[in-house]
Every structure is written in C-alpha cells, then in structure tokens.
Amino acid sequence: MTIHVVQPGDTLLSIANRYGVSQQRIIMDNGLYGLPYLVVGQALIILEPATIHTVQPGETLYSIANLYGITPIILLQRNPNLIRNRQLWVGEQITINFRGEPQREVSINGYAYPFINRNILQHALPFLTDFTIFGYGFTVNGDLIPVNDQELINLAYQYSAAPILLLSSITEEGTFSGERASLLFNDIQLQNTVINHLLDVMKQKGYLGLDIDFEYVRQEDSESFLRFLENATRQMHENGFRVNVDLAPKTSSEQAGLLYEAHNYAAIGAIADTVLLMTYEWGYTYGPPMAVAPLPNVRQVVSYAVTQIPKEKIMLGIPNYGYNWMLPYERGITQATTIGNDYAIRIAAENGVTIQFDQTAQSPFFEYWAQNGRKHIVWFEDVRSIQGKFNLITEFGLRGGGYWNLMRPFAQNWALLSQTFSVKKVV
C-alpha cells in the first residue's frame, strides 16, 4: 500500500503506470468517479493486487471465495465495485488479496440514520463489526419513539454486521432534551418501562446490542446517570445483549463543562462492555475554522482514556465528514456547512485550487473563492488523516474504531481499513 500525493503534471494514467496498477483500481479505491481531474495536493491510496481471479462461466461470489479459502465478505472488502448478490460477469477481474495483508483484528462500528443511501450503506457494511442505527427516543410515559429500521437490520445481517439499537434523549419533536434524560435517570419505574420496551423491540427486530448516547448530562444527574447505566446493562446482559456507551472527549477527570462533567470515564468504563470516544467536533458548525479531529487533540483524549478504562473496551471515534466555512469567520454569525470528504475533493477540483496538509493537525484543508466573491476554507479528512487515527488504535492497543457517520461515501477510508486491519465479525 502506498499513499501518493498528487503533484503538478500527474495524471491518472501516469500514476497507474508508476505503480503498476490499473486506472480503474485507483478510481475505485479513491472514489474518483465523475471527478473532472486530479487535484494537486490530493492524497490517493494505491493498492497493489497480489492475486487476481478472472471470472469463469457459472462462478459466483461464494464459489470464488471457497476456491481461495476466504469469505465472501472479504471479497466484498477487496472489491468495492461489488455488492452482495450481484451477478458476476464472465471475464470480470476479482482481487483476491493484496501485497501486505493486515495482521491485527479490530472491531469497527458505524452509525447511520434510517434514510441513508442504500448503495453507500452496502459498500460500508462489509467493513463493520457493528452497525448502529440512530436512533430511538422515549416519551415521558416510557413508550419508545421508533424509527424505520427493519430494512437496515436485514441488510446488516446480509453483510455479517451486528445491528445495534441506539437510545438517546431525542423527543417526539426530534430535538435532544436534558430534561427528558434527567427524568429517566431519576425515575426507576420509568427506567424499567423503557428498558422493557427496548428488550421487546430488540428481540422482535433482531438487534444484538444497545448503544446508549446521552450527551450534555446535567452535573447533578451524574450519579443517577450511572445508576441508570448499571440497571440497563444488567438487564441487557440478563437477556444476552451487550452495551456500548458514547463518551464525550475528555482529557482529565476534572474537565469542566456540561458536555464532560457527568461522563465519569472510570465508572462508565467499569459498567459498559465497550465505550466510544467521540473524538471529533473540535472544528464544528459554529466554531472557528479548524480540523474536525486534530490528531494531537485526539491523542490527548486517548492518553487519558486508557488510564481510566481497559483499552480492550475503547473504540476510537472517527469523523466521516468535513466543514466548509465562509470567511472571514465571525463568532455567532458564521455557520459552517457539513460536507462529505469525497465532495471536498470535488470542490477543490472545480475551483482549481491546491489541497494543503496541516502537519500538526494531520488534516487536509484548502481555501477557494466562491462565485459570489466570498472566500471559503474547507477542512476535511483524507487517507492521511485517517491513517493517523488508525495508528493511534494500534499504538494504544484499542478495541477498534467507530465512524460518525456512514451517511456520506469515503472510498479511500475503506480501502485503507482493508489494508490496515482485519475486521472482526460476530454474526
């Protein structure tokens, strides 16, 4: 595997010839479909197939996998142009393996809303241990506020990804409520009603675990929040389900602020089966332009987390998005637009600018002038910034990573994942 940064004069053909791979392989692994041209400063992942199989009459994904002693899911990971149950064409070339196979097995989770594009989802599912569907809320009476999730659950099983139900404080109006969360934490009868409803839905629909996502918990609810987690986890375990808790990105036990104070890393880490560190949103919609997940900031959180929580329980949060800010930034006025990482490259290409890479943040960015005459700056993720996060997973021996979120395509991320780790499958 090689990461190639596009230089002036580079073309798809010249890069393919340099590394001895096909142009189609580079396009596929980097999501370059429809891109008008390569962008100077753009990072490309170059995968070099070691074994290629040419499809013969009557062969299927399953028969080819059996021929080489691997699973169909691994073939899907190594051939992102394939989706499950697609008929293969005679003469089609299937990559069996690459030079340099991954050694370490990790767990990978991904979050998505029910309205996710099904094509995007089917290209992500082969790489997931768990697939968390966002998300259920609850009423003041303990009834669940459901989502349209059965089709996604069924798809997850087709790709051997475990479907996980997410519970949060989202209300009937679609907003998050600290008051609603507080009510749950401090009313044992309401807790048990909600938990019983969760168990019914999970058994009926085929969920395999629960993700608990309560953010901005009031400090006065810290202890009752822990008691709720203990109660929910105990009942989930009694019914054969596992529990993940999402944690704000803390760097110390004394860290002040509504986002952090009620998230007691040590206590929650002792209760939950796994935790997700929400290591993103340093650059955010209303904040000043900066990387979404600067590597030094992420490292600080992980360094603290491993002193409080067993490392084999920790999932590193990985952002699958960037932001586009209009300049100059004005606090309280400027509102950045969320964009996909693949789309960020398209913006750079269409505006003829060079992509830069911040060596400290380990994140790419660029500036451009829009047609309305206003200057913009875009921070996003690419294969280099994701590699930095994967390196942290390896360095600290973490359980794996979790993507917020899967709603946008990010081809080179999945290509890098397939070459860095072996994804654990539990279904």
Active-site residue numbers?
A: 215
Separation CA 275–CA 59 (nearest Å): 42
Please say whether the beta carbons of 29 and 412 come within 8 A. yes
Closest alpha carbon to 318 in 394, 252, 387, 378: 387
User: Tokens 């002693």 map to which residue?
Assistant: 69
Closest alpha carbon to 365 in 300, 297, 302, 288: 288
Separation CA 25–CA 30 (nearest Å): 8
- Residue 109, beta-bridge partner list: 130, 402
> Could you tell me which residues come within 8 angstroms of residue 163 by beta carbon, excluding any fewer than 6 positions away?
130, 131, 133, 149, 152, 153, 156, 157, 205, 206, 207, 208
> Could you tell me which residues come within 8 angstroms of residue 311 by beta carbon, excluding any fewer than 6 positions away?
396, 397, 398, 399
Separation CA 133–CA 168 (nearest Å): 12
Separation CA 212–CA 16 (nearest Å): 45
Closest alpha carbon to 167 in 278, 258, 243: 243
Is there a cis peptide before residue 146, judged by omega within 30 degrees of 0? no
Two structure tokens written together for 87: 């008929």
Separation CA 141–CA 172 (nearest Å): 12
DSSP 8-state assignment for residue 176 = B
Alpha helix ranges (H) inside 138-221:
150-158, 178-185, 188-205
Please say whether the beta carbons of 47 and 419 come within 8 A. yes
Closest alpha carbon to 63 in 88, 46, 100: 88
Please say whether the beta carbons of 233 and 271 come within 8 A. yes
Separation CA 323–CA 321 (nearest Å): 7
Query: How far lies 364's CA from each of 280, 352, 376, 382, in Å?
Result: 15, 16, 14, 7
